RNA sequence: GGCGACGUGGCCAAGUGGUUAAGGCAGGGGUCUGCAAAACCCCUAUCGGCGGUUCGAUUCCGCCCGUCGCCUCCA
């Protein structure tokens, strides 16, 4: 089975053929100016799954994700709060790690930072000037000469005229061409700066990724990923800088961009002040729910975030958890529980369904990481596991059946882990926030015990009153054959 | 204005040139239950509109309508 990945550069799905071992994978990370919001997390969870899946396909992966810790807004925030820009960056870099750890996102192999890559950036700018691809007009700035790079626009698929139409020159800039962009910016008062051959200053927005990518992964890489809003100008400019500097093409073989996360009719962004942070979302929802929300659509599909969509995701998460516990309960079912007329056929079929599930899961993931389809196959299997678990089928050759079921469970757990899920044992844990705090388990258990006694006495209306009382507090009672269980509504 | 994406059942959302268009939610019917809940079973779509290509299109092409994004900081 071959993996196919959609490449923004060719606008097609292409068979994945890395340059070598390990796979060189760079993702444009955060500008740590505030806590990551749900749009950021969509990117990083997606990359986490891609990375895990590449590993699953047998590739070793070197995954690099940067922090753009030198930035106008970080500087502005530091000034307004009376702390250094570095302190702001540090605070929200930590915030990033907290959020991602909660979401079970595997850490990158390395997290380069602009502030620690200055010499590499200067070296690259010098090379670009020497090659005629950049110029220093003498005002302390250095600009990239877009006209020197004929294939400029190939990633975002726009022509020189297109770019020109949208280009702007700010007062004080001395560009030869409005399309040119800054590689180095002369220092202003109150701003952090570094010495350079062009005077004190700091890097422009795009050069840092070219430099960090090169520093950590070499001149050419396999996968370069990021948010859709980076295609132009950021990634376009990275290509221009890197390919001009190294004279190697392509800079990145596969350009991967996710679909944007929108709120209402606009994208979720710090600058639009319409964002929800990961941390506040996790106060109300289990991390599995948020991850499942992201993976329920294809990663390239733009999605509109609503609170209800997370409620939907929670219900889907319950299916996975219930399917898994059904399987576990079958394995725990002792042979003497067998009832007359039970048949081994359902277990046999379930076991063979598990191996088929595996094939279909990989088939879906091989097609540009179709997690939505892969998940649907897990749901179908889960439902079947629940169905079979209700049959009490163990009894004929229990050892062989248990073995088959254990294998099925291993398969299921493995597939779920490829998607990065750390499933809780019980769906009760999926509910968080106020509703989870309303009543503690001991109180609920005590009420259940009182109600059980009333039921024994066939005092139905009194027993029902207890149930209804709990329901008003968000607790649902379910009377099963082995007693009463509860869950949060 | 330029570039691009999307429009699939009540809602969310996969997918395909031709046997039954995944899956989830909600809804209806049923089994089970003291009642209920849960679970399980069954049921609910011809794919925005108009043309074209084709033996055949929801899937390819064109136009139209609608929604949205990028073109400026942005994951």
Distance A30 CA to B49 C1' (A): 43
* pLDDT tens digit at each of 489 positions of chain A: 789 999 999 888 899 999 999 999 999 999 999 999 999 999 999 999 999 999 999 999 999 999 999 998 899 999 989 999 999 999 999 999 999 999 999 999 999 999 999 999 999 999 999 999 999 999 999 999 999 999 898 898 887 777 877 676 677 788 888 889 999 999 988 889 999 999 999 999 999 999 999 999 999 999 999 999 899 899 999 999 999 999 999 999 999 999 999 887 788 888 888 899 999 999 989 999 999 999 999 999 988 898 889 999 999 999 999 999 999 988 887 765 444 555 677 888 899 999 999 999 999 999 999 999 999 999 999 999 999 988 866 666 788 888 999 999 999 999 999 999 999 988 888 877 665 666 788 888 899 999 999 999 999 999 999 998 888 888 888 888 778 888 877
Report the nucleotide nearest the CA of residue A156, measured to C1': B3
Q: What is the 3-state secondary structure (H, E, C) of A316-363?
A: HHHHHHHHHHHHHHHHHCCHHHCCCCCCCHHHHHHHHHHHHHHHHHHH
The complex's ipTM works out to 0.93
SS3 assignment, position A196:
coil
Topology alike, domains A4-284 and A288-427: no
Report the nucleotide nearest the CA of residue A231, measured to C1': B70
- Distance, CA of A103 to CA of A120 (rounded, Å): 33
Distance A356 CA to B20 C1' (A): 20
- Distance, CA of A476 to CA of A478 (rounded, Å): 7
| Topology (CATH) of A4-284 | Rossmann fold (3.40.50)
Q: Any idea where the domains of chain A sit in the sequence?
A: 4-284, 288-427, 438-488
- Angle separating helix axes A345-366 and A371-389, nearest 10 degrees: 170
Distance A269 CA to B20 C1' (A): 44
User: Which CATH number fits the domain A288-427, given the four candidates 1.10.730, 2.60.40, 1.10.3470, 1.20.1630?
Assistant: 1.10.730
Q: Residue A174 CB closer than 7 angstroms to strand B?
A: no
Q: What phi and psi values does residue A71 have, to the nearest 5 degrees?
A: -165, 150
Q: Residue A386 CB closer than 7 angstroms to strand B?
A: yes
């Amino acid at each position: 089975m071959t993996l196919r990945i959609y490449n923004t550069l060719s606008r097609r799905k292409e068979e994945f053929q890395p340059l070598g071992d390990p796979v060189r994978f760079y993702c444009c990370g955060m500008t740590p100016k505030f806590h990551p919001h749900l749009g950021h997390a969509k990117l990083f969870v997606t990359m986490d799954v891609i990375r895990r899946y590449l590993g699953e396909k047998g590739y070793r992966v070197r995954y690099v994700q940067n922090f753009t810790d030198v930035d106008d807004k970080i500087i502005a925030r530091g000034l307004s709060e009376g702390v250094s820009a570095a302190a702001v960056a540090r605070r929200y870099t930590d915030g990033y790690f907290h959020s991602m750890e909660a979401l079970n996102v595997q850490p990158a192999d390395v997290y380069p930072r602009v502030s620690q890559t200055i010499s590499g950036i200067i070296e690259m700018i010098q090379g670009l000037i020497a090659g005629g691809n950049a110029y220093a007009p003498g005002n302390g700035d250095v600009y990239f000469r877009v006209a020197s790079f004929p294939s400029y626009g190939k990633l975002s698929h726009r022509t020189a005229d297109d770019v020109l139409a949208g280009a702007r020159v700010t007062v004080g800039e001395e560009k030869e061409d409005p399309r040119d962009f800054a590689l180095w910016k002369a220092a202003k008062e109150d701003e952090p700066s570094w010495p350079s051959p062009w005077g004190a200053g700091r890097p422009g927005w795009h050069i840092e990724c070219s430099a960090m990518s090169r520093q950590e992964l070499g001149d050419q890489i396999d996968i370069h990923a990021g948010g859709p809003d980076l295609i132009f100008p950021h990634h376009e400019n990275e290509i221009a800088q890197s390919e001009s500097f190294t004279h190697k093409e392509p800079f990145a073989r596969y350009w991967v961009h996710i679909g944007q996360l929108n709120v209402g009719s606009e994208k979720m962004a710090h600058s639009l002040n319409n964002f929800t942070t990961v941390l506040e979302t996790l106060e109300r929802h289990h991390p599995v729910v948020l991850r499942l929300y992201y993976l329920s659509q294809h990663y390239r599909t733009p999605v509109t975030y609503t609170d209800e969509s997370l409620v939907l995701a929670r219900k889907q998460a319950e299916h996975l958890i219930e399917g898994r516990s059904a399987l576990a309960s079958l394995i725990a079912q002792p042979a003497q529980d067998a009832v007359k007329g039970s048949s081994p056929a359902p277990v046999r079929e379930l076991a063979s369904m598990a191996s088929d599930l595996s094939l279909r899961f990989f088939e879906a993931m091989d097609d540009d990481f179709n997690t939505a389809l892969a998940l649907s196959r897990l749901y179908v299997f889960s439902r079947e596991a629940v169905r079979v678990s209700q049959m009490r089928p163990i009894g004929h050759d229990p050892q062989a059946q248990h073995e088959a079921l254990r294998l099925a469970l291993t398969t299921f757990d493995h597939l779920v882990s490829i998607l990065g899920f750390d499933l809780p044992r019980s769906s009760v844990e999926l509910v968080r926030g106020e509703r989870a705090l309303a009543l503690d388990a001991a109180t609920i258990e005590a009420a259940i015990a009182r109600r059980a006694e009333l039921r024994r006495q066939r005092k139905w209306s009194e027993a029902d009153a207890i149930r209804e009382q709990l329901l008003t507090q968000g607790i649902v009672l379910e009377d099963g054959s082995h007693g009463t269980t509860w869950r949060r509504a």
